[in-house]
Structure 1
Amino acid sequence: MSLASLSPELIEKILNLLPIRDILRCRLLNRYVHSVYHGSFKLRYKASLSNSGFIDNEFSTLSVADKRIALAASHNAWIHLAPILKYRIDTPFVVDFNVSLSEGMLYVINMNTAVLPRDDGLEFCDVAALDLARKSDGNGDDLSGRARWKISKHSRVADGSPRFTCRLELATSLYEHDIYAEAHSSWNEPNATVFMVSICLYRYSDLNGRPRERPKEVKHIWLMNSRTKSPQISLQISGKHVVVLLSSGQIVHVFIYDFISDVLLMAFRVPLHTYDQNSIVFLDESTLLFPNSRSGKLDIFRIPERPTFEPVAPFLSLNLPTLSPNISHHSITCTADPIPLSERSYFEFGGQQASRHSNSLRSTLRPEKGFLKDAKASLCIFTFEIELDLPDQSSDDDGRPYYFTLVVHRSALLKVIALYTDPLPPPSSNQNTGQTHQYQWHTLDDSSMRMRDPLTRRIHINPEKAHVQETRHISRWVIPSAPRSVSWDDWGPPITRWFNHENMPAGDTTKGWGERCVRLPVKVYPRIYGSDTDDSESGPEGQYPYIVLDFRQQTISATWAMLSNDPTMASDVVEAVSLTENTLTFHQSIISASSQTTTSSNTRIENWRRSIGPTGVHVEPKTTQFCGEVVDYLRPNQALLVNYTTPLLDNFNIFRYPVVSSLPYLARASRELVNWSQVLMDDERLVGYYIGDEHHSVQVRQFN
């Protein structure tokens, strides 16, 4: 318990028990420390980094004062959604919807290119990369003349052999290793029945736009031989580990590879649809999370330091809310950017081990950028796709999937794991195998996570239930393979936030980075602004603001402090915060509905949503069928602070029991109206992809 958590009356009683001379000394010391702090740019910059969830980029050539100014400017730009730079880059080719933004690079698939073996009939597409780093020269009106697409060409010849190759997936690790990885499927004959699946690591700095040159292959990792020519595959790089999910036939193969030491650390198989594609989550460099679509759980794994030949099973499973009978998860995917960086990572360049802290990677780590996002303070955004076939659905919605997203901090998940998994010490030499060990229950500080009683005590595994293997040199505990399971009510409601997307694909309209995520209300604004169509398949016809949700607890605390003391001072925190009578009524109805049924709370929210039509126009009840979240109805330049427990809108009773969530956030709608079909983001920018009748373009909003 900290001193700041005590009441002023209690602190006064404590001070009365101390000698007055000691109190005066503390007062003078505090004044001195306060003056030193305000006179030190380094201390103030360090505090700003901690409050903003960033880490310092030691390779930056900027001074500490310039870094602090840049950090404050970035914070203000994001708070007010006022980008400091806007530009558009046309795409001279058709782009597949499988686009990604990683470490300042935009990766798209060029659908116009096709290396098509006539004997095979399989289409290969090039990958185009666009460097979105802020350009220092130019006014930012149109950077298409200076920006250059870097093309990674496909090759049908590898290692001098006439081998056919199919690119499957792409992953990058630019800040750490200056590499990008490609997963390939290759074969020697047009009518081959066995295909070799492998991963090739390339140095990113060698990537260029020369049409028939390929960058130098740094390392080649063979995974397996497959009967499927183009299996679904996902890969992720963090530290020295490459994690691969590969679906072949009715089996999902999981590989965890140490590419520094060339060692396969762990490999196991699970039935198809257990772990879906794009569901690899690094909680830290050695802890993995896989959403399990079959069991409705989050499976947690430890990456071993050495290869293991024991049966692999998660050591902990976090239960998700239970679905209603005859309803199941179609898929559960997750994004958690940025990926954790190791303290010291090594990679072999030219036969020499190069440290991430050496001069060889200075150009890759972007010296002009003063700070990087801390992965530990970032969000994990889980996307749930659920197939429904209900008799009361309209004909337009029959058979269409429904989507939900779940937002939780990566650091909160790590704390939950620590609560329920304590390492067992090995027994001493004079202890018997069956001897009972006594452990104390440790009470934790629950202020950071606002947890209830079930999470305020650290749980220990009873050593009597663990089998002990005695060897000549070591004694170790072997925990049973069945993972410990934690119910949803014991870990989820205090630290999570749910959103309902209904039948709008959440992967295209909601993306996150760090502690922020962006959301496109494409189901609402084309309707209430008079669009002629609500068909989201062809892209939104009308325009709408983009909505940024900020989950940083420092922003929430500062905003709430302002609003609690004097609502008229809200503009000092966020400009033009919407605190209308309807909004305050909505606050009150949510708090009073938390203990009532889901149906009544949904009714209150629907009534409030219908009452806030644009320019006072009443919104028809039919509009409420298109989107389930209040934040989607924010008008341009409006903001809404949500720091209370709310029930998830579940119009079709998808979940067996009411689902509530409490993670606070600040939602802000932009002044600008856009018509993007897809949105991406990182810590510096928003990237919207526009699909028009005559041209396609990438539209960038730079905030740093």
Structure 2
Amino acid sequence: MGLLDLPTELAVQIFGLLDVNDLISSRLICRSTNAIYNGSSLLQYLFSLRVAGFIDHGGHMNVRHKLHLLRTQEERWRNLDLSNKVTVETQHTPSNIYDLSGGVYVLGDSERDIIRRRTLSLRYLDLHEASLKSGLVTEAWPQLSFGAKIIDIGLALEEHDLVAVISRKKRGSSSRIDLLLRNFSTGKNHASAAQPDIFVNEYHGMQSPRFSIMIEIVGTYLLLLVTIPSHISSMDTLFLYNWMTGGLHYREEAPPGTWSGFVFLSPECVVIPNMTTNTLDIYHIDSAGDFEWIRRLALPYLVTNATILHVACRADPNPWGRDSKGYQNRHGHGRAQPPFGSDPENAVVLFKLHTRRFIEAMATPFTFIVHRSALLRFACMRNLAYPDEPDLEDEGVIVEWEDWGPANTRWGGLEEERSRWITCTAGQRQVLLKGNKIVVRDYNPFEVRRVLATHGTAGSPGGVEYDEIQAVEGSLTIRNGQRTVTVVTGPSICEGGVVLENNVESSLPYVEITAEDEVDYEGMLVNDERLIGLCVNPQFEQTFTTVERLDIFSLSSFGLDIVST
């Protein structure tokens, strides 16, 4: 019996396991396969998910509705449709603490402490609920109080409905740091945490230490980085906890100025930029919870007497733990959960570097983008990150920049670094401001191929109305009314200035769409379903990112459209 002789339902399941390219080839060479595809909403949905770089979140929504929502959302992103807009005012005094995760925007509340701007509680905005409103929204945001001064937070809303709070208690010249584990939906002790309050460390002999904290939660792991940049004698410290048991798996210290951030590449692999060695260091977390250094990816060489001052990095969404059971509706938090979202493995990682040569007064910023999967691949560690994969040949501990970087990254300078917010990527998309215009870049290789196939290097419009098409070596620009689309496939040069030995060449392909209407935002945020433009109080913009108002642009019809079953 041949494949096409099987019952259609079984054939659909088999075709649904194919790679995207294999399914495309099968449809092109076999009419029967193409007919099966055209007749199956499930197969079309699975195919569309993979092309978009998304995964299904489960739930009870029927497949036809999910397919409709996905196609509509992707089309709105391609057109950068900003017609669905709502404006929300902040009714509290924001601090500098913020996060964007799980469809929720969190802002610290200084509770009218406009001088020191200490974070005394958290306020949050459900972006889905806000998007369903219209005009100007002025209601007070819900508040979470923990009876402590907050110096940073970490969120794992989809996986655990968890907010991890780092609190500080000051006694004279000593500062005690604690980790508080709470259900985000209630603010109460997290039901899965055996020790909801965990002592982290106590720091002595510091009158006013300014802590720099980073927290990420994946599965049962909570990785915490504590640095004090203002105190050159204070060590950078990594803590790895099992947040459910409260146990400390691992602790490691490094000289000050070594670390400032990290990103989970998989549930057991972490990349940590090393500012001393000018490398990306990749670690594997073994079954005992110990860190094993497995690979070092070199960055472009610095000139003599130049150094990296700070590296901020982020990828969204985070991977989930191996034992996670999917999107967590069981917590009863009441927030609407979208039927699909970005696949963590396909997401891009954003790195923001601040560098300086000792004789220069000003720092020189650089940014670069790379896929999570590329970092894992060039770390030669897919066998540990994904045990079912065959082992790859070990090519040595250090991978030179020329061997991994140029083809797999895209570098930028001051323009890309303009925003103070790191929450400007979601999945494979990045948002930035060029002058006063909103720009979205999509690093999805399937989107790059789609635009090139639609328009072609010869400027064929493919049935789409356009004003102008320009093709130059390595890029294609399509102007259509108030949108300009540019496909960049060739190399670009980022000038090394006074800190890099050479200019940096990079060639990760992307599609860039620019909205030609000018806006007045200090920064832009993004998640899978929406863009957020931030307006700040000009009185404090040099010292605080005091968000007064945000414009939410919804590119998803989730919660709005109803499709018949």
Q: Please indicate the TM-score interval, normalised by the length of the shorter structure.
A: 0.7 to 0.9
Alignment partners' CA distance in 2, 1:27 and 1:637? 33
Q: Establish whether residue 329 from structure 1 lines up as the match of residue 304 from structure 2.
A: no
Question: What residue is the counterpart of 1:65 in the other structure?
Answer: 64
Q: Establish whether residue 255 from structure 1 lines up as the match of residue 239 from structure 2.
A: yes
Q: Establish whether residue 486 from structure 1 lines up as the match of residue 399 from structure 2.
A: yes
Question: What residue is the counterpart of 2:394 in the other structure?
Answer: 460
Within the candidate set 527, 535, 552, 1:700 is matched to 552
Q: Alignment partner of 1:638: what SS?
A: strand
Q: Establish whether residue 87 from structure 1 lines up as the match of residue 86 from structure 2.
A: yes
Do 2:484 and 2:513's aligned partners in 1 also have CA atoms closer than 8 Å?
Answer: yes
Aligned pairs, number = 511
What is the TM-score when the length of structure 2 is the normalising length? 0.81
Within the candidate set 141, 144, 147, 2:138 is matched to 144
Q: Establish whether residue 273 from structure 1 lines up as the match of residue 254 from structure 2.
A: no
Alignment partners' CA distance in 2, 1:109 and 1:420? 38
Do 1:373 and 1:514's aligned partners in 2 also have CA atoms closer than 8 Å?
Answer: yes
Do 2:95 and 2:118's aligned partners in 1 also have CA atoms closer than 8 Å?
Answer: no
Question: What residue is the counterpart of 1:661 in the other structure?
Answer: 506
Pick closer, same or farther for the CA change 1:62–1:510 going to 2, 3 Å.
closer
Question: What residue is the counterpart of 1:290 in the other structure?
Answer: 272
Q: Alignment partner of 1:517: what SS?
A: strand
Alignment partners' CA distance in 1, 2:515 and 2:241? 43
Question: What residue is the counterpart of 1:3 in the other structure?
Answer: none
Q: Alignment partner of 1:197: what SS?
A: strand
Pick closer, same or farther for the CA change 1:50–1:357 going to 2, 3 Å.
closer
Q: Establish whether residue 415 from structure 1 lines up as the match of residue 267 from structure 2.
A: no
One-letter amino acid of the counterpart of residue 579, structure 1? I
Shift of 1:373: 1.3
Alignment partners' CA distance in 2, 1:512 and 1:570? 30
Pick closer, same or farther for the CA change 1:82–1:565 going to 2, 3 Å.
same
Pick closer, same or farther for the CA change 1:267–1:663 going to 2, 3 Å.
same
One-letter amino acid of the counterpart of residue 52, structure 2? S
Q: Establish whether residue 643 from structure 1 lines up as the match of residue 511 from structure 2.
A: no
Question: What residue is the counterpart of 2:211 in the other structure?
Answer: 231
Alignment partners' CA distance in 2, 1:141 and 1:299? 47
Higher Cα Rg, which structure:
1
Question: What residue is the counterpart of 1:496 in the other structure?
Answer: 409
Pick closer, same or farther for the CA change 1:27–1:291 going to 2, 3 Å.
closer
Within the candidate set 151, 173, 179, 1:199 is matched to 179
Alignment partners' CA distance in 1, 2:88 and 2:117? 30
* Residues 227-626 of structure 1: pairs in structure 2 closer than 5 A: 227=204, 228=206, 231-248=211-228, 249-276=233-260, 279-308=261-290, 314-345=293-324, 360-361=330-331, 363=333, 366-367=336-337, 369-388=338-357, 399-418=361-380, 459-460=393-394, 484-501=397-414, 505-508=418-421, 511-522=424-435, 544-564=436-456, 566-569=458-461, 572=464, 576=466, 579-580=469-470, 584=471, 587-588=472-473
Shift of 1:47: 0.5
Q: Establish whether residue 170 from structure 1 lines up as the match of residue 83 from structure 2.
A: no
Shift of 1:79: 0.7
Shift of 1:676: 0.5
One-letter amino acid of the counterpart of residue 39, structure 2? G
Shift of 1:653: 4.5
Alignment partners' CA distance in 2, 1:285 and 1:72? 30
Shift of 1:99: 2.8
One-letter amino acid of the counterpart of residue 682, structure 1? N
Pick closer, same or farther for the CA change 1:502–1:696 going to 2, 3 Å.
closer
Question: What residue is the counterpart of 1:597 in the other structure?
Answer: none
Q: Alignment partner of 1:133: what SS?
A: helix
Question: What residue is the counterpart of 1:126 in the other structure?
Answer: 121
Alignment partners' CA distance in 2, 1:136 and 1:496? 34
Alignment partners' CA distance in 2, 1:262 and 1:54? 33
Alignment partners' CA distance in 2, 1:319 and 1:222? 36
Do 2:85 and 2:552's aligned partners in 1 also have CA atoms closer than 8 Å?
Answer: yes
Shift of 1:363: 4.7
Alignment partners' CA distance in 2, 1:301 and 1:270? 15
Pick closer, same or farther for the CA change 1:672–1:94 going to 2, 3 Å.
farther
Do 2:86 and 2:130's aligned partners in 1 also have CA atoms closer than 8 Å?
Answer: no
User: Percent identical across equivalent pairs?
Assistant: 22
* Residues 627-642 of structure 1: pairs in structure 2 closer than 5 A: 637-642=483-488
Do 2:294 and 2:379's aligned partners in 1 also have CA atoms closer than 8 Å?
Answer: no
Gaps of 5+ in 1: 1-25, 156-164, 208-213, 346-354, 391-397, 426-441, 445-456, 462-482, 523-543, 592-629
Deviations along 1:95-123, one digit per CA (max 9) or x if unpaired, are 3454321111111123443499xxxx994
Pick closer, same or farther for the CA change 1:549–1:64 going to 2, 3 Å.
same
Gaps of 5+ in 2: 1-25, 540-546, 557-565
Deviations along 1:146-167, one digit per CA (max 9) or x if unpaired, are xx51222352xxxxxxxxx431
Do 1:288 and 1:300's aligned partners in 2 also have CA atoms closer than 8 Å?
Answer: yes
Which structure carries more helix by proportion? Answer: 1
Alignment partners' CA distance in 2, 1:125 and 1:358? 28
Q: Alignment partner of 1:412: what SS?
A: helix
Q: Alignment partner of 1:494: what SS?
A: coil
Shift of 1:50: 0.6
Shift of 1:680: 1.1
Alignment partners' CA distance in 2, 1:503 and 1:67? 34
Which structure carries more strand by proportion? Answer: 2
